[in-house]
């Protein structure tokens, strides 16, 4: 039985002072024994966030990292730096990074490999645009993203990965995918993992849905066979996140 994982992607929101206030507000609301809960906060808030969740089951994640160990890469943050401060998860290849910061399937793959080398759990984002959905190529497109992301990743590593299926047209738009749409793609992703590796790896890997998840839509989405939780943007910055985590 896969354990649910519900992560908040705070994106570029909240100063460190505001972040700590929000974490303290959310702490009692997101307490649960039934799911892993992750707050993916901006880089500058990571250190105080790790401190603020001490003594709880909440884990802290970063929203990006670079794929080199160190060196002349002005402005970048290495996996070793994240591990050193107690970060456990890292979002890789979010569609906003692909769209605004020229991330590609190849850079995503390099980052996934590096994250595993350092013991970080990658939350690997995939998902189609509205045009791709309308052209009927959603599954083909997402399968390609998954296949490249997992190149040279071992089955043992893949078992511990998290994939977030986030249709781009559903992100920040208030237009949540239907449970059928979300389940169809998450199930296809699991099938793709089983083709790359084997049935056991596919059964172990956790697949989230992301895109306009709210307290109202969480229960239906997260009870689908192949949906193991969510990657939540806007609603993770509010008390509502507690209701999403405790969706049952
Ligand atoms: P919203 O929940 O705000 O649509 O954002 C989803 C997302 O991009 C999470 O990574």
pLDDT, average across residues 74-101: 98
Q: Are 162 and 61 in contact (CB under 8 A)?
A: no
CA distance 27 to 49: 11
CA dihedral 172, 175, 177, 179 (to 10 degrees): 120
Determine whether the shortest distance from the Cβ of 6 to ligand 1 is under 6 A: no
Q: What digits encode the pLDDT tens for the residues 112-155?
A: 999 999 999 999 999 999 999 999 999 999 999 999 999 999 99
Q: 35 forms bridges with which residues in the sheet? A: 4
Instruction: Spell out the domains of the chain, with CATH numbers in brackets.
Output: 4-245 (3.20.20.70)
Q: What is the pTM of this model?
A: 0.98
Neighbours of 241 (CB within 10 A): 25
How far from each other are the two terminal CA atoms of the chain, in whole angstroms? 17
For residue 171, give the ligand 1 atom closest to its CA.
4
Residue of 103, 128, 166, 183 with catalytic role: 166
Distance 193 CA to ligand 1 centre (A): 24
Model confidence at 8: pLDDT above 90: yes
Q: Would you call 94 a catalytic residue per the annotation?
A: yes
CA distance 235 to 212: 8
Q: What digits encode the pLDDT tens for the residues 170-197?
A: 999 999 999 999 999 999 999 999 999 9
CA distance 222 to 87: 25
Q: Residue 123: which of 7, 213, 247, 12 has the closest Cα? A: 7
Determine whether the shortest distance from the Cβ of 233 to ligand 1 is under 6 A: yes
Neighbours of 87 (CB within 10 A): 26
CA distance 48 to 17: 9
CA distance 227 to 190: 10
Residue 1, pLDDT score:
80
Task: Tell which phi-psi region holds residue 136, choosing left (phi > 0), alpha (psi between -120 and 50) or beta.
Answer: left
Q: What digits encode the pLDDT tens for the residues 201-216?
A: 999 999 999 999 999 9
């Amino acid at each position: 039985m896969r354990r649910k994982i519900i992560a908040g992607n705070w994106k570029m929101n909240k100063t460190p002072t505001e972040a700590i206030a929000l974490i303290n507000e959310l702490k009692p609301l997101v307490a649960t024994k039934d799911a892993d809960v992750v707050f993916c906060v901006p880089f500058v808030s990571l250190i105080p966030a790790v401190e603020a969740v001490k003594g709880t089951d909440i884990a802290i994640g970063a929203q990006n990292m670079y794929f080199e160990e160190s060196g002349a890469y002005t402005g970048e943050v290495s996996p070793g730096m994240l591990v050193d401060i107690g970060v456990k998860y890292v979002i890789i290849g979010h569609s906003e990074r692909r769209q605004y910061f020229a991330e590609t399937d190849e850079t995503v793959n390099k980052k996934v490999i590096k994250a595993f080398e350092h013991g970080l759990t990658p939350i690997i984002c995939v998902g189609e645009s509205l045009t791709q959905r309308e052209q009927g190529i959603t599954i083909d497109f997402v399968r390609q993203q998954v296949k490249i992301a997992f190149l040279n990743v071992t089955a043992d590593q893949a078992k511990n990965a998290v994939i977030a299926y986030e249709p781009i047209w559903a992100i920040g738009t208030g237009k949540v995918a239907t449970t059928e749409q979300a389940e169809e793609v998450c199930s296809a992703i699991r099938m793709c993992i089983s083709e790359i590796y084997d049935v056991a790896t596919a059964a172990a890997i956790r697949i989230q849905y992301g895109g306009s998840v709210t307290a109202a839509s969480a229960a239906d989405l997260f009870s689908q066979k192949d949906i193991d939780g969510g990657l939540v943007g806007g609603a993770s910055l509010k008390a509502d996140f507690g209701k999403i985590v405790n969706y049952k």
